[in-house]
Structure 1
């Protein structure tokens, strides 16, 4: 009995009891915690893993232009604060990594290492550096939930000056251009509006609301899926422009025909 009492009075006994109690409480809490809290913990752990993997991808494929810490360099701008949406837009469309520096990064097939997972990981890393616009949800870009008529009004008011009324694109100054929207996904269209890539201005939610963005996506998707009623539409550059081309071609053919007929008559008279 004296031995047991002596052990209880040992200076480390209280700490052992405290550690045992904490372990028991932690175990019971893990078993009884609500599923939502456990899911949040799993998501947070997954995000940490994405950030770590994204940093490795950045160091391998992006740091040579954007700096080791994404602070920017002479060949690439800073990525701090651009957000995951900018990464998803640029990398998924093949614009980045940029093989040949120029006035504008063209759309091209994505790099071999690019897939849904690597884009998410790279975006998570950039997002962790300074925040910024996040990748929109599927509901935000669902064209079937948008109003084409309202979207058309908004698109004509804000976008046709550069992208043409059907999203065919057009030339800008200093070697830049507004790209055609035929291959852009609904997510990429939304991301372009909130990040302002290349020469495009940023249309944040205070300028064009998320609902209006979805309406514009519905219009763009609807227009490019419609058959061209004019046959060979010359890239659908516009009815006036297309009509002018047809008129010039028609007048030229008529003039040549008139010259040929006149020449034949003169030869007959001789």
Structure 2
């Protein structure tokens, strides 16, 4: 692969993709960022950085065509709440947005993938350059869950899967068999904080992918920022779907998790029940 365009959301995910792509020999990297969302630091990891507002689909197409880049990757979250207040449409973007009746991550981002692929572009999996950062199965820390915490993980998994498949969120907070908080429009970190405010310390947080997750967009991602939130509320357990969740900055993440006594578990779907 000679060239790559990164459609960049927030935090460090796009930067890590750019660095790893460069390390794997990609010669030309274009960054497409959104004002107020994408980290300006991405510009230091790419050959060219272009900024635009959310909703400028026509501008995005023109930039990509003029650059002659056909392979694209989405990295980083676009907070869904911004679809209510931070859109700056051009004509193509407005037409695209109005055509979508139920506006959620799957319809908006999945629709963007289909729209650009019709123009001859190809989207890579978001994990293409960071497969080593995918969460592995099993208990990932030296400290293991108690029986009650395993029960909370199982309960959290069931609820979070329904939540994700409804396109409502990816994260739930559970404590002692009680469902405390569900992620909504506010996002993962705010949902965790709300759970901590309601239940106090010792919560179990579970984050999962959709049952039919398209790995090209909106995959679950956890990093040091979320770890800080877990530390703030003194959470006890973090359950992440193995194989579909990216855990960034893993060495530092697990060092900090160990110091704060956080248990981290890579979860997989339970085996089907006997007929």
State the TM-score, normalized to the length of structure 2.
0.29
State the TM-score, normalized to the length of structure 1.
0.29
Higher strand share: 2
Structure (1 or 2) with the larger CA radius of gyration = 1
Higher helix share: 1
